Structure 1
Amino acid sequence: MGKRLFVMAAVLLMCSAAALHSATQWKDTLVVARDGTGDYRTLTEAMEGIRAFMDYKVTVLIKNGLYKEKVVVPSWLQNVDFVGEDAEKTIITYDDHANINKMGTFRTYTLKVEGNNLTFRNLTIENNAAQLGQAVALHTEGDRLLFVNCRLLGNQDTVYTGVASTRLCFLNCYIEGTTDFIFGPSTALFQDCIIHSKRNSYITAASTPQDVAVGYVFCNCRLTAAPGVNKVYLGRPWRPYAATVFIRCQLGKHICPAGWDNWRNEANERTARYAEYKCTGEGAATDGRVKWARQLTDEEAARYDDTEYLFGLCKQWNPL
């Protein structure tokens, strides 16, 4: 009798172990759908279904819908593709701004990305707060982040690239805002993007560290503006040594002749690394540009076509 009980107990233990093993099997494809037809109803819930620090690719398919949530992609997630069903219909949105309970700029994000080696495709990432202060839609802290065919919507401070020496790439994206709506210390390439100004103000506010060669690079982008907007600067330095270049971009007539601003600090003129190369359009005339910005030579511009130069000799990551 005792032997039989021992055998039964052993069988039950084996069955329990097998069930536990089965329960901890991780999927390589997850579906998020607001209507409950997927694996998860929110992006925040989906984060819990992704194994930490995995070395294989995980795809999170996000069905069309309005996802009103404040999302954090944590630092222990990597090698994940977040793919929306339709860029205009798959919308992640929230409405925090800096003047809510003294929140400040850096807590206002709709989507904060802390993990590395992540891709976001076909998504709208929006902060739809009223124009009452800084309101970040996308806040990045991770390295090797790729955004493809995404819409980044907001007003002041739409995109915050928050950590120095991290590398970002935006391909075929639409980015809109009012003031300093692309800002921070990261190295970021914007290629074939539409950059849309909603108010007379400044597009970029880089804070590139002195020891980082490349800050913001805009290649083959189109700069547009809302009706009545007619005095927009390409950038102003949030900190000394800010680096921003526009290469073969189409600049609308809303870009003012001076092109760049010193943020009311003449000392910034000695360190800012601002340049343009073969831009076209009504806002591309160079004769009125500030004297402390420059035009790149052919040789200098060619370096920005080299992804190893752009992304710090990174042979392991070529987003193009």
Structure 2
Amino acid sequence: MKRLFGMVCLMLFAVTVWGQGQDTIIVSRDGTGKYRTVQEAIESARAFMDYTVTIYVKNGTYKEKIVVPAWLENIEIIGEDKDKTIITYDDHANINKMGTFRTYSVKVEGNNITFRNLTIENNAAQLGQAVALHTEGDRLKFINCRFLGNQDTIYTGAKFARLYFKDCYIEGTTDFIFGSSTALFEDCTIHSKRNSYITAASTPREAEYGYVFKHCKLTAAQGINKVYLGRPWRPYAYTLFIECEMGKHIVPAGWHNWKNPDNEKTARYAEYKNTGEGADVSQRVGWSKQLTKKEAEAVTVENLFCTHDNMWKF
């Protein structure tokens, strides 16, 4: 019965999130598309659509502060080339006391939204927190995208929301993947630009999973040699690295308690069969965990995204 439930969940996830597009809107900076900005194209879509609209964005630099509102669903935003289709802005937390959560370049509030083949960047000077991607919606997918920034590059803001990152490049300095959502990062490159921390999860106690990195590659800029896998932004933070390649910049201890020993009692930090110079677990902190084969095999798409009372709500 459990296996059947998992198969049904996966089928529904695929149908809902990977639906086929029916309408296509072209965006181009040179005026050859229907719209010249991505935000104009987003605002042209109907509320609560039951079919998929594709927004195709031609190569160019789009300096916009974009919001995909909560009343939009089933939107695919697809770039022409991930390296040449760039959405960028430059807000940071210390501009007019803006604070972290208003600094986003792209904020996604709607559900069932897909981004593919483009770059989302916050190119603010390193003067404070500066979010490139801020997510609030559920069932969001990011495929073959680049996320460029420094501190706080990706903020996953909604508790129990489900996010999927596939074949993405994510860079930053401090806590550059942070928040409370459940997110699977698969076959991604995670690049550290400073001696600091990669993740700062704030996973709710009730959530079975938080951040899962699977088959990812952890790299660093030249001279960077002291990077922690994560520190708990809130108690019960969950972060797992499974079969990832870790560079020598990862510190032997692996994890940090954010200078609060009480976090060691609740943080859910784990690893399984990672490789590379940074994957040696002989000196890992005692409050982190090495999964067994059986435990690792249980970390599936079905279990990450479908283990809850309601089919889509954790």
Please state how far the C-alpha of 1:196 moved relative to its aligned partner.
Answer: 0.1
**Distance in 1, Cα, partners of 2:80 & 2:311:** 28
Within 5 Å, give how 1:28-67 maps onto structure 2: 28-67=23-62
Is the counterpart of residue 269 in structure 1 residue 270 in structure 2?
no
1:228-280, Cα deviation, whole Å (9 max, x unpaired): 00000000000000000000000000000000000000000000000000000
User: Which among 292, 297, 301 is matched to residue 302 of structure 1?
Assistant: 297
1:313 equivalent in structure 2: 307
**Distance in 2, Cα, partners of 1:312 & 1:264:** 34
The alignment of Structure 1 onto Structure 2 pairs a total of residues equal to 290
Within 5 Å, give how 1:125-204 maps onto structure 2: 125-204=120-199
2:5 equivalent in structure 1: none
Please state how far the C-alpha of 1:316 moved relative to its aligned partner.
Answer: 7.2
Is the counterpart of residue 117 in structure 1 residue 112 in structure 2?
yes
Q: Runs ≥4 in structure 1, deviation > 2 angstroms?
A: 312-317
User: Which among 98, 112, 115 is matched to residue 103 of structure 1?
Assistant: 98
Change (3 A) 1:316 1:154: same
**Distance in 2, Cα, partners of 1:258 & 1:313:** 32
Within 5 Å, give how 1:205-224 maps onto structure 2: 205-224=200-219
**Distance in 1, Cα, partners of 2:137 & 2:280:** 37
Is the counterpart of residue 256 in structure 1 residue 251 in structure 2?
yes
**Distance in 2, Cα, partners of 1:48 & 1:124:** 20
**Distance in 1, Cα, partners of 2:219 & 2:294:** 28
**Distance in 2, Cα, partners of 1:84 & 1:297:** 40
Please state how far the C-alpha of 1:307 moved relative to its aligned partner.
Answer: 1.4
**Distance in 2, Cα, partners of 1:207 & 1:307:** 21
TM-score (norm 2): 0.91
Q: Name structure 2 gaps, 5 residues minimum.
A: 1-21
* Secondary structure of the corresponding residue to residue 285 of structure 2: coil
1:14 equivalent in structure 2: none
* Secondary structure of the corresponding residue to residue 299 of structure 1: helix
Please state how far the C-alpha of 1:303 moved relative to its aligned partner.
Answer: 1.0
TM-score (norm 1): 0.89
Please state how far the C-alpha of 1:312 moved relative to its aligned partner.
Answer: 3.1
* Secondary structure of the corresponding residue to residue 311 of structure 1: helix
**Distance in 1, Cα, partners of 2:176 & 2:306:** 25
* Secondary structure of the corresponding residue to residue 86 of structure 2: strand
* Secondary structure of the corresponding residue to residue 278 of structure 2: coil
1:10 equivalent in structure 2: none
Determine which structure has more spread, i.e. the larger CA radius of gyration.
1
* Secondary structure of the corresponding residue to residue 204 of structure 2: coil
Identity of aligned residues (%): 71
Q: Name structure 1 gaps, 5 residues minimum.
A: 1-26
User: Which fold has the larger relative contact order, with Cα–Cα distance below 8 Å and residues 6 or more apart in sequence?
Assistant: 2
**Distance in 2, Cα, partners of 1:48 & 1:128:** 25
